[in-house]
Structure 1
Amino acid sequence: MIRLIADENISWRLKELLPAWKILPVNEVKQRERLIDFKIWQYARVNQYLILTLDEEFWDLQNLNSFPPKIIWLRTGNSNTAAIASLLLKSEDLIKQFVGDGESGILELYL
């Protein structure tokens, strides 16, 4: 099963479009304060999630701290949730290979 924690700029509706995937929108993580990027990175590491993001900040964090967690960096511009879901489904085999690859920490996906 693909386990993703979706950064705050990705709609929570993505989990409805991909019900077979384990997608946790970051705003559903129970914390006392808003999760900053480093806390999201730590949460993903401890709980074995891939980070799904549109932002380069996680690339910077991974350069400093290595992986896990692995990052799926969506290079899609301003796309709607349906387009992102479609891209993820088309890339499912690639994502599964990425999960099993011990040498790669970032997978960039383009529309």
Structure 2
Amino acid sequence: MKLLFDQNLSFKLVQRLTVSFPGSKHIRDFALVREMDESIWVFAAKNGFTIVSKDSDFVHLSMVQGHPPKVVHVRFGNCSTNTILDRMIAHEHAIKEFISDSDESFLVLE
């Protein structure tokens, strides 16, 4: 259950969530920071990642194309990395259930 964090989320989340989501990475780990959303989408699908982003464009891609990859849309507003970390840990079970669900394409965390 590895996550791929988009550029609008801190790379620091990867290290802090590695116990819960081993194999997770940030797009900068693959030099994808300047890539278009579609390229990140294809990369995530080919490599078994679930995309985590504040960007609703990934949700729209998910609605049109389905999955893989799956998308976790983080809608916590402007807040610190620690707040995002705390909320993702609080939603860990829901995120894991979502990733395991064969039908769902995206999950919105608010």
With normalisation by structure 2, the TM-score equals 0.90
State how far apart, in whole Å, the 2-side matches of 1:55 and 1:82 are.
19
Corresponding residue of 2:52: 52
Matched AA of 1:4: L
- The runs of 5 or more residues in structure 2 that have no matched partner are none
State how far apart, in whole Å, the 1-side matches of 2:60 and 2:18 are.
30
- The runs of 5 or more residues in structure 1 that have no matched partner are none
Corresponding residue of 2:73: 73
Give runs of aligned pairs for residues 1-111 of structure 1, distance below 5 A: 2-20=1-19, 21=21, 22-30=23-31, 34-110=34-110
With normalisation by structure 1, the TM-score equals 0.89
Which 4+ runs in 1 deviate beyond 6 A? Answer: none
How many pairs does the alignment contain? 108
Asked if structure 1 preserves the Cα contact closer than 8 Å seen for 2:63 and 2:105, the reply is: no
State how far apart, in whole Å, the 1-side matches of 2:96 and 2:74 are.
16
Mean Cα deviation higher: 80-89 or 45-54: 80-89
Matched AA of 2:18: P
Q: Secondary structure at the match of 2:60?
A: helix
Matched AA of 1:54: K
Aligned-pair CA distance for 1:19: 2.9
State how far apart, in whole Å, the 1-side matches of 2:46 and 2:15 are.
25
Q: Secondary structure at the match of 2:24?
A: strand
Q: Secondary structure at the match of 1:27?
A: helix
Q: Share of identical aligned residues, percent?
A: 29
Aligned-pair CA distance for 1:34: 2.2
